[in-house]
Structure 1
């Protein structure tokens, strides 16, 4: 019987039908894979590797992202990219000790069980994950809805392993999440570079057209399709090119961004961290190089390679590294990652980006000394150095905004001719940070407007 071998690029870009190979229906497509590795693997592979007696023996001498998958493993892999998951609600990456959790989906079984980003799953139902591919891990961890799975976990700072028994369930995770933050700053989170990512991104931008600035969150985004990377890059103004691709024995090729009907307008930030990988790094490198956005966070993962998928009639698939990608001008990504313009502490990326967006909106305002260890029931006193006409005030004169969150509604109480109190209408959040902005909209006793606005930062204990 002949097997039709198909190739689908991952980060994926196109479907390519190769010449068919003749194999036994029950045997591994070993000879075909030898030929594919010889012709298309990104680096030259010695004959001593190609002559190995099994596909597993060959692929273990390639890079960690090249792996042979069964039909079930491949289905789980694709479902992960498309956010179609029955499992425990985690995003995974290979690790020397097993499989590392790079993010936990809020509200899922893993989150409810107290699992955290950085945890390493070493065993699934007693089977070791050491040396196993992420595809194998997904096939073991996922399964039928309402069935149980037992995980053994190592956590940084804890000597003993943890054991978690979880019930699998269908995980619903939108690929694009969006909201308007306080101060009219739009926030869009992209969870995966999937088939419908550009369509969903376009809808999100359309719903937030009144925004004064944009924050695009690619933290913990492990990548996806190469065409989606081109599409997403097209939403950033001035990003003409998406990436440069270098395949084996070919000249470097520069791929353009997809022209989009809508683009981010105004100040735009992109958030990345050590778990932003692959297509996330493509977009980050492109917008940084072409000065279309400012990057906040930590240096990204450093997966600057592209995989192609070669499928066989029995449903099995060879995922193999066939190219390396670079920024459009040739800046390396593989093993070095993309360095942000503004380096932040882990977990503070959104707050700092939002803060900088808000301050950029009020040029010329005076920064007052910040407040720390503020109680959640704090009232804020504003005292002027002259008598004021508090009766005729603009409701927009004072804004209290949680960094990374919404504007907090507050009442203004007159204390005397010089002083008012700003009273939040709900309790502040413990551990959160805020910014209080007083715009120059108040008038003094002579009916003259304030000459200068002010702002101060607030840390709640």
Structure 2
């Protein structure tokens, strides 16, 4: 796809926060000008190309085209590979400053109360308005156990907040997985790193008994093109990964790379406003080829691809060289990917899990929803006929927290028509649950239940 001896391709500026050094004064400026003329996606006026330094030139290009020193490049690749140092945030440019795309769980920034959507305006008193991510990283980064003072606009209150945060090594797995209640496999991918597909295949194998899948790409800012092709190959019926249009505007369609292990139906993909680049590449292509159903909110809208050109002084030029589309030409850049099922923010997992369970138990009768029940709730079920509770089994009833695990219950016949279902632990405040009663019981006159029943539960 590319000349690997000279060009390495990437999607997204996903940057860790660690030490960087100043740019050398002796830049290969003519090399840089020539590469921009030949490969940059847009036309660049002579007044821009005549600027004296590489960073003076690239600041007039799109936000994703930048000049990097060798250490800045190492920082860039470490970010994709999730080797993170600093305060634990993933960044992108914004007209108001530097926007936080995601916050690493358990990291210093999260502990300080920073959230995705916050916009950093100063670092140690230096303005970040109009600056690149690389510039922000050079100011925010530093050695472990040192501190940085950040002023940011809160995404929730729109008020300025100032926090002093201590830097540290950030440890985060790239792939996280668990089996949710009802045998629904959940896998979260944080970055399209070199090893992403290998780790995904391992996670799918460890959840091999899953009867449905939730693949979480929320807050995933992207990574490598080849990883996106490989991840697309995990979905059944997905043959094409994406369409690229270079400076010539001639479309080229790239195939998904088939994998021996695949998701099985039904599969949902979760996206949000901070799912970008490679995440959008996979989401739009899988949606178009009906390999999965998308849940969440419209994604970020970074439908551009960057190519990294090594320069003669060992520095690097990252240029936007193409825009990507779905295989059939659906645009992504500055548009984003719209989900099939739009959900409220923060409700993506619970909504997807709920729909997976209801689809799995298709035909069950829905009872009225129980709202605002206490955390100590005991459920009472009354039947319309005399029942034979002797064969009653706890396995005939399931209480599943949406987005979580199954809750163990005690089931007891109270009288000839009434039974109680008591959770063995308190329910989670503000949690959502689904109670399933499977059609395995019979009445005194040996009549079997015809259909199962379910009801949804919300907790105070």
Pair in the same fold by TM > 0.5? yes
Counterpart position of 1:8: 8
Alignment of 1:19-418 (within 5 A): 26-156=25-155, 158=157, 160-249=159-248, 251-418=250-417
8 Å CA contact 1:76, 1:139 repeated in 2: no
Range that drifts further, 446-455 or 240-249:
446-455
Distance 1:151 1:315 in 2: 32
- Cα distance between partner residues in 1 of 2:151 and 2:261: 46
Q: Matches of 1:6 and 1:69 in 2, distance apart? A: 16
1:302-327 Cα offsets, whole Å, 9 max, x none, are: 10000011223544221110001000
1:157 shift after superposition: 5.0
| Deviations 1:275-317 (CA, angstroms, capped at 9, x unpaired) | 1000000000110000000000111111000001122354422
Q: Which residue of 2 aligns with 1:425?
A: 424
**CA deviation after TM superposition for structure 1 residue 46, in Å:** 2.1
| 2:285/2:327 contact within 8 Å kept | yes
How far 1:55 moved relative to its partner? 1.8
Please give the alpha-carbon distance, in whole angstroms, between the structure 1 residues aligned to 2:441 and 2:156: 53
**For the aligned residues, what is the CA RMSD?**
1.5
Q: Distance in 1 between matches of 2:416 and 2:139?
A: 70
Hey, what's the Cα distance between the residues in 1 that align with 2:305 and 2:396? 51
Q: CA deviation at 1:391?
A: 1.3
TM superposition outliers: structure 1 runs of 4+ over 6 Å: none
**Shift, 1:229, TM fit:** 0.2
Q: Deviations over 1:196-226 (max 9, x none)?
A: 0000000001111100000000000000000
Where in structure 2 are there 5+ consecutive unaligned residues?
A: 13-23
Partners of 2:400 and 2:247 lie apart in 1 by: 52
TM-fit CA distance, 1:93: 1.8
Aligned-pair CA distance for 1:51 = 1.9
Q: CA deviation at 1:151?
A: 1.0
- Between stretches 304-313 and 383-392, larger displacement belongs to 304-313
Instruction: Say if 1:298 and 1:339, in contact at 8 Å, map to a contact too.
Output: yes
Deviations 1:124-177 (A, max 9, x none): 111111111122222332322222111111114546421211111111111111
Preserved contact between residue 28 and residue 313 of structure 2 (Cα < 8 Å): no
Distance 2:158 2:390 in 1: 63
2:236 counterpart SS class? coil
Instruction: Give the SS at the match of 1:282.
Output: helix
SS in 2 for 1:351: helix
Give the number of equivalent residue pairs. Answer: 445
Judge conservation of contact 1:73–1:138 (CA < 8 Å) in 2.
Answer: no
- Say if 1:166 and 1:293 are closer, same or farther in 2 by CA, change over 3 A: same
CA shift for structure 1 position 443: 1.3
Residues 77 and 138 in structure 1, CA contact (< 8 A), matched pair in contact too? no
Measured after TM superposition, the shift of residue 100 of structure 1 is: 1.3
Give 1:417 shift: 0.9
Q: Which runs of 5+ in 1 are unaligned?
A: 13-24
